[in-house]
Amino acid sequence: MEYDLELLNFFTNDNTLNKIEMKLSIEYLRCKIDHCYSIKKNLKQQEQSPITRITHEDFETCKEKCLNSSKLNKFNMMKGFLYGDFTKFYYEKFLSCANESEEKKVNLCIEETKKQMKKNVDDVKKTMLNYKF
């Protein structure tokens, strides 16, 4: 459907949305650098309790904590849920239009569904751009 593609194009190519994602990515990277790579932090930890090595598991746990505390994860989940719910709802709605008995009713149902899709694409765009991350 054209509106499904319009929404997908918005999620991948909108400059304002990409700027928000880049800002959140920088925050996530800053957390990783400060907490997972930082030599200064490791030296402070060594003063308190000597650490002879940092394992891969420790590093992955640190990255996961940064991702869970960052807004980037919430942003990506929101995009995924909005797109998934949108497509699932409307494709099921189009399938239900096929259950109509007359061709005129089928066409009317499809046209009404397309109008709703167009309105909801605009609503999703407004939601994503106006949400405070």
Model pLDDT for residues 76-127, shown as the tens digit of each residue: 999 999 999 999 999 999 899 988 888 899 999 999 999 999 999 999 999 9
Q: Please identify which residue in the block is written with the tokens 């598991």.
A: 57
Please say whether the beta carbons of 72 and 28 come within 8 A: yes
**Predicted pLDDT of residue 45:** 53
Please say whether the beta carbons of 10 and 17 come within 8 A: yes
User: Which residue type does 81 have?
Assistant: F
SS3 at position 76:
helix
- Write out the H or E segment, with its range, that includes residue 1: none
Whether residue 48 has pLDDT greater than 90? no
Whether residue 56 has pLDDT greater than 80? yes
pLDDT of 64-77, one tens digit each? 999 888 899 899 99
SS3 at position 119:
helix
- Pick the more confident residue, 27 or 39: 27
Please say whether the beta carbons of 87 and 4 come within 8 A: yes
Mean pLDDT of 30-52: 63
Tokens standing for 23? 């800002």
Tokens standing for 128? 């994503």
Q: Pick from 19, 46, 4: which is nearest to 129 by CA?
A: 19
Whether residue 26 has pLDDT greater than 60? yes
Give the Cα separation of 99 and 95 in Å (integer): 7
What is the percentage of the chain residues whose pLDDT exceeds 90? 58
Extended beta strands in 91-132, E state: none
